[in-house]
Structure 1
Amino acid sequence: MKIDLKPGLHHSKNFHISEHDLASTLQTGDVPYAATPSLIILMERVICEMIAGRIPENYTCVSAEINVKHLMPVSAGDEILCSVHLKFSEESKLFFDFAIFNLNDDIIAIGAHERVLVKKDEY
């Protein structure tokens, strides 16, 4: 399998938090702030965008493990920056670090994420 993913690869993307991202909307809490699962989804989207076109077409990448620290609240309408970094790879496993910032460069969330490359036809 030929992949074009080298340690050190980095990708960032800005997002606006919507009402759909809030813990109160998702019923994961009573607060009107971004839910941790919403931030995880945004991080995974950035990783998927980064690896698109860098792996064979008959492969996909699936989530295996996530470690996240959600440090600050984010409200609907706020803009955030999600930055991901490919730390290393081991066979079909990819290990990423990520950070999510607000526009003041405050850290909203940090973490590590492991993904696994798998053949699409094996599912």
Structure 2
Amino acid sequence: MWNPNLVSEGVGVGVNVRKLRRYFLSTFMVVYSMRPLQSGAVFRCYPELWKVFYDDKDRPNRYLLAKEMVSRPDAEDLEIIFGNVEEKSKKGSSLFNKAAGVFSSINRFMKVISR
């Protein structure tokens, strides 16, 4: 099934329908996924692991591998991964850069949870 979107206005949104939808989707295995993000991407090609990439600042339009995971990374995992990458690249930076990094991290987090 390509991008299963199992919400229908004709069926309704009751508790039983949500349980059925959750159960039905849990039987699927993601075999190929590519999700671009603001500062990187999440990729999987079965049977490989889930891979999280981040933007390479030295080479535009290139990615570097940040981490491989067995399960699909959620918003919290991505925030931790991208936060660690930013900390490594900004070691010894000024207070202003650190504050800007915190605000960009919060902004990215809010965008992820608002989807």
Same fold (TM over 0.5): no
- Scaled by the length of structure 1, what TM-score is found? 0.28
Higher helix share: 2
- Scaled by the length of structure 2, what TM-score is found? 0.29
Higher strand share: 1
- Which fold has the larger relative contact order, with Cα–Cα distance below 8 Å and residues 6 or more apart in sequence? 1
